[in-house]
Amino acid sequence: MRPRIAVFYGGEAANHDLSMETGTWVCQYVPRGEYDITPIEVTSQGKWKVPLGNLPRSGSVTTTLKRLSEAVKPVIPAEGINRLLSRPIDGVVTVVRGHGGDDGALHSFGSLINAAVAGSPLAACQQTSDKYAFNQSVSDIVNTPYTQRFSKKMSVDSIVSEIQEDFLPPLFLKPATQEGSFGIEHVESPHQLKAAVSRIVTTSDLIAQEALPGTEYAVSVAQDERGKIHTLPSVAVHPTKASFYDHLAKRRDGRVQLHTADHSPITEELEEIAQEIYEELGCRGVVTMDFVVNGDDISILEANTVPTLSSHTPLVQQLKAGGLHPSILLGNTIRRSLEER
């Protein structure tokens, strides 16, 4: 009997569209000749759409996924779990971002039902999902921007006052656990500060972070079929219409330009640092890390244990530049998770 793999995608409204696109990408390129794939769409309201059948073993999945989304009734997670477990599940792949995704909730679910979870384990997901905790955990390996965390229970005026004491514009304000650049505020002058703080603390604790000068690089780390860690070619991010690589740049043409970086001592050092962090945190599968390089100075911004795959994100370009077919990447990740279960 072929292993049955559940692929989760969708999730919260902030990153729903990118996760849907990534889920389609995964379902298209996962080796369906080796595995039975059950696609599970998580709606922005948190309900699950669980089909009873599997995807076809070959051909385009785009139309199939669209029809399933229209035909399958969304149900509360408890009912979705019962429906999913009507047949044995061997493995779980999740590309849900934010709550229920990067924070490791679906990884916990996979472990609870004794299914192999492709990609990084729960502890690594939780550590990278919390931006402040991540910066603290890797500060002995690489420079990190000066960062402070503020509780959403504090008054807006108190937060503004403390930020003004510790920071000078420009700076970034970020939701503490939001993913995909959604909700990040680039504060370029003092008069923007209060409104930006107000928008974030309605839903989340807040991270204030210095804006570092330099060029942003994305470095992705993965494992091959033997578990050996290697890096994909680094990609440099050059803003054009956007002031930084914001959430809209992941959805629209022309806001930034992505360039595969030439091999150099700097990219070699970036790759060495990324591999060290990957091993230190106990990551698995593919992980993308964002750095800022200013001359010889290197600082890390964040790490993403759940990939986003679209024409406007670095990982697709990195796979092409590295000559690594998506089916190989996904096949290696799933196969190793099943072997390690």
pLDDT in tens, 260-285: 999 999 999 999 999 999 999 999 99
Nearest-angstrom CA–CA distance, 163 and 193: 9
101-109 average pLDDT score? 87
First to last CA, the chain: 18
HSE toward the beta carbon, residue 243, CA cutoff 13 A:
11
Residues pairing with 235 in the sheet? 218, 260
CATH 3.30.470.20 domain locations along the chain: 126-143+212-330
Residues pairing with 40 in the sheet? 8
Structure token pair of residue 151: 């509780």
Nearest-angstrom CA–CA distance, 87 and 280: 37
Nearest-angstrom CA–CA distance, 121 and 214: 32
pLDDT at position 131: 86
Higher pLDDT, 179 or 21: 21
88-110 average pLDDT score? 89
DSSP 101: T
Residue type at 258 in one-letter notation: L
Nearest-angstrom CA–CA distance, 39 and 18: 16
Per-residue buried b or exposed e for 134-172, using 16+ beta carbons within 10 Å of the residue's own CB: bbebbeeebbbbebebbebebebeebbeebeeebebbbb
Tell me the fold of 147-210. Dna Ligase; domain 1 (3.30.1490)
Q: In terms of Cα–Cα distance, which of 9, 282, 333, 8 is closest to 127?
A: 282
CATH 3.30.1490.20 domain locations along the chain: 147-210
Structure token pair of residue 84: 């999913």
Q: In terms of Cα–Cα distance, which of 21, 30, 2, 8 is closest to 332?
A: 30
Write the DSSP assignment of 48-63 as a string of letters: EE--SS---SSS--HH
pLDDT at position 205: 93
CATH 3.40.50.20 domain locations along the chain: 4-117
pTM confidence score: 0.92
Strand ranges (E), the chain: 4-10, 36-42, 48-49, 91-94, 116-117, 147-150, 171-175, 185-187, 206-210, 215-223, 229-231, 235-239, 256-260, 287-294, 297-304
pLDDT in tens, 293-320: 999 999 999 999 998 888 788 999 999 9
Measured N-to-C along each axis, helices 16-29 and 62-71 cross at an angle, to the nearest 10 degrees, of: 130
Residue type at 31 in one-letter notation: P
Tell me the fold of 4-117. Rossmann fold (3.40.50)
Nearest-angstrom CA–CA distance, 219 and 341: 28
pLDDT in tens, 58-86: 989 999 999 999 999 999 999 999 999 99
pLDDT in tens, 126-182: 999 888 899 999 999 999 999 999 999 999 999 999 999 999 999 999 988 766 567
126-143+212-330 falls under which CATH superfamily?
A: ATP-grasp fold, B domain (3.30.470.20)
Residue that the structure tokens 């309605």 belong to? 202
Other residues' Cβ atoms within 10 Å of the Cβ of residue 88: 11
